[in-house]
């Protein structure tokens, strides 16, 4: 059964964060808050954990469109091809924020994602998520927790999330109520930005 750990977004407790990071390092799965919906994530370097998430989502790992949650733009070049100045400026003014940006991936992608030409990058405006990634030292591969039954509370209330997911994951963080609107997804891999999904983030940033 999963651990249920309360962490306050305005002042995340370091000892609690360390407990979660230890689980991530050991290949565990964690449900954690972002600036949009709660996410399900694992350490990008752990193949078994990545396979567990793919299995939960009912998809093959090499077909999965997971996001890479980063703490800032500094480690972007680890996984993304060199981007032009206009793209970088767009990222800089939008992040941290409720956006997923699709960018061309480079040869450093983990072997599980080698077939992919693009990656989705997230830098959420949420202290808990950002602290976890910083302490872990590399991105968290993440996917949203959607509900088949479309009952919104499941995605927003940490106690209900725990009730539903406690036997599938290793930690559920209670970071307060989540949002029920996903991130805005913008594809920056081509010559012009393309809005894939309009979510919480304002799409006028690309004008």
pLDDT digits (tens, 9 = 90+) for 104-142: 999 888 888 888 899 999 999 999 999 999 999 999 999
Structural domains of the chain ordered from first start: 3-206 (3.90.870.10)
**pLDDT, tens digit, 9 for 90 and up, residues 8-42:** 999 999 999 999 999 999 999 999 999 999 999 99
State yes or no: pLDDT of 152 exceeds 90. no
State yes or no: pLDDT of 202 exceeds 90. yes
Pairing relationship of beta strands 30-32 and 171-174 according to DSSP bridges: parallel
State yes or no: pLDDT of 201 exceeds 70. yes
For residues 106 and 56, give the distance between their C-alpha atoms in angstroms, rounded to a whole number.
Answer: 27
Instruction: Please tell me the predicted confidence (pLDDT) of residue 75.
Output: 75
Instruction: Please tell me the predicted confidence (pLDDT) of residue 90.
Output: 96
Instruction: Please tell me the predicted confidence (pLDDT) of residue 145.
Output: 86
CB 33 within 8 A of CB 175: yes
CB 154 within 8 A of CB 160: yes
For residues 75 and 78, give the distance between their C-alpha atoms in angstroms, rounded to a whole number.
Answer: 5
Q: If you average pLDDT over residues 81-90, what whole number do you get?
A: 93
> Which phi and psi (to 5°) does residue 163 adopt?
-55, -40
Position 186 confidence tier, pLDDT thresholds 50, 70, 90? very high
For residues 69 and 89, give the distance between their C-alpha atoms in angstroms, rounded to a whole number.
Answer: 19
Q: Is this structure's pTM higher than 0.75? A: yes
Pairing relationship of beta strands 39-43 and 184-187 according to DSSP bridges: unpaired
The DSSP call for residue 89 is H
The DSSP call for residue 77 is G
């Amino acid at each position: 059964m999963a651990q249920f750990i309360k962490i306050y977004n305005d002042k995340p407790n370091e000892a609690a964060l360390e407990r979660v990071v230890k689980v991530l390092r050991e290949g565990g799965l964690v449900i954690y808050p972002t600036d949009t919906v709660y996410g399900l994530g694992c350490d990008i370097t752990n193949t078994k954990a990545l396979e567990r998430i793919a299995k939960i989502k009912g998809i093959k790992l090499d077909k999965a469109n997971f996001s890479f949650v980063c703490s800032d733009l500094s480690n972007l070049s680890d996984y993304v091809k060199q981007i032009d100045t206009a793209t970088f400026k767009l990222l800089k003014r939008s992040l941290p924020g409720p956006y997923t940006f699709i960018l061309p991936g480079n040869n450093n992608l983990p072997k599980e994602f080698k077939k992919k030409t693009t990656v989705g990058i997230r830098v959420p405006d949420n202290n808990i998520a950002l602290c976890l990634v910083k302490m872990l030292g590399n991105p968290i591969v993440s996917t949203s927790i959607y509900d088949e039954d479309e009952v919104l509370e499941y995605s927003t209330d940490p106690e209900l999330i725990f009730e539903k997911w406690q036997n599938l994951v290793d930690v559920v963080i209670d970071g307060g109520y989540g949002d029920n609107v996903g991130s805005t997804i913008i594809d920056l891999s081509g010559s012009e930005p393309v809005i894939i999904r309009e979510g919480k983030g304002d799409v006028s940033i690309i004008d």
